[in-house]
Amino acid sequence: MKQIAIVSGKGGTGKTTIVASFAALATHKVIADCDVDAPDLHLLLHPGVVKQVEFRGAKVAEMDKARCIECGTCASVCRFHAISYSDSRSSFIINPMRCEGCGACAFICEQDAITLRERVSGYIFTSHTKYGIMVHAQLKIGEESSGKLVTAVRTSAQEVAEEKGCELILIDGSPGIGCPVIASLTGVDLALVITEPTTSGLHDLVRIMDVARHFGIPRAVCINKYDLNEANSQKIADFCHHQGVPVAGKIPYDRVVTEAMIAGMPVVEYSSGTVSRAIITLWEHVNHIL
């Protein structure tokens, strides 16, 4: 079984557009939307949820005020400033938004007034789409553990793939280079990095490429909207050449991408124009690399 993660340092370069089209082009695959804090793939693939599982990633400290003697020791050990004295309540209180669930407060409290409680920090869905099975998730607002949720989505996707004998997992990643991105990249067979020919796009490409290399992951690049600035596209191609990384595709800018999004369809199904042809060529190259 092969796994390919579609990532980009910079947001909005077209990851989801490309994953949706790959979903329409690939056979025998499982689709995993690992952009868990702003997932959009479902808007193009219209999954019908068959299974929903609670995800308990983080814990949160809770205070039993009947036991608390307001000594404040908990506040003094909390490094995340999650416990503070509230003048209006004349009492120490925990701010769950700041709590990292480490348990230092619960350990130090001599009154046993603090316990760590698991909280539901998101949901994992297994769904049917006309393109095959899709595993996706929604992190609750403001939750941490997005990396753990990504790992949980990937584990579910692997189980489904093994059960159904699928040969490929398509992973839609999140922007950035931190926790959820690293969780999306770990152990994949190919990181396909989508970039755009802008100063920011090139800068962010360099960083995500460094991250993938740091973890020893094979890389390929796709330049989306390449014709918006051909000089920058050339700079990107030169950078890739220098790194020994193939440019697997170049996709022109076309409003048809937005039209397909509004129609709620993968662009390769919506149109047979230049964008779709470029994505098909990209897909062929990616398969060749895999």
Partner 1 sequence: MIISVASGKGGTGKTTVAVNLALSLDASGTGTGAPPLLLDCDVEEPNAYLFLNPNPGVEEEVKTVCTVIPEIEEERCDYCGKCASSCEYNAIVVLSEQRRVMLFPELCNGCGLCTLVCPQNAIREVTREIGTIRRYRSDGIELVYGVLNIGEVRATPLIEQVKEAVKTERTVIIDCPPGTSCPVIAAVQGSDYCILVTEPTPFGLYDLKLAVETLKMMGIPSGLVINRAGIGDREVYKYSEAEGIPILLEIPYRREIARYYSEGIPMVRAMPEWKRHFASMMERIRIEIGGRGGMRDEG
Residues that bind partner 1 (CB under 8 A): 9-13, 16, 36-38, 40, 43, 59, 77, 79-80, 97, 100-104, 107-108, 116, 139, 141-144, 146-147, 174-182, 196-201, 203-204, 207, 210-211, 214-215, 228-229, 232, 255, 258, 261-262, 264
Q: How far is the CB of 141 from partner 1 (least distance, A)?
A: 5
Q: Give the end-to-end CA distance of the chain in Å, rounded to a whole number.
A: 11
Which one, 160 or 250, has the nearer CB to partner 1? 250
Comparing CB distances to partner 1, the nearer of 164 and 214 is 214
Locate 117 and state its tokens: 């409680």
219-242 b/e (C-beta count within 10 Å ≥ 16 → b): bbbbbbbbeebeebbeebbebbee
| Distance of alpha carbon 275 from alpha carbon 290, whole angstroms | 22
Closest approach, Cβ 34 to partner 1, in A, equals 12
CB of 205 vs partner 1, minimal distance in Å = 10
Burial of 290 (0-12, 13-18, 19+ CB in 10 A): middle
Amino acid letter, 144: E
Closer to partner 1 by CB, 86 or 200: give it: 200
Nearer to partner 1, 203 or 241 (CB): 203
CB of 41 to partner 1, least distance (A): 10
- Nearest distance in Å: CB 226, partner 1: 11
Task: For partner 1, give the closer residue by CB, 9 or 249.
Answer: 9
Partner residues linked to 193 by β-bridges:
7, 221
Hey, what's the torsion of the CAs at 259, 264, 270, 273, to 10 degrees?
A: 40
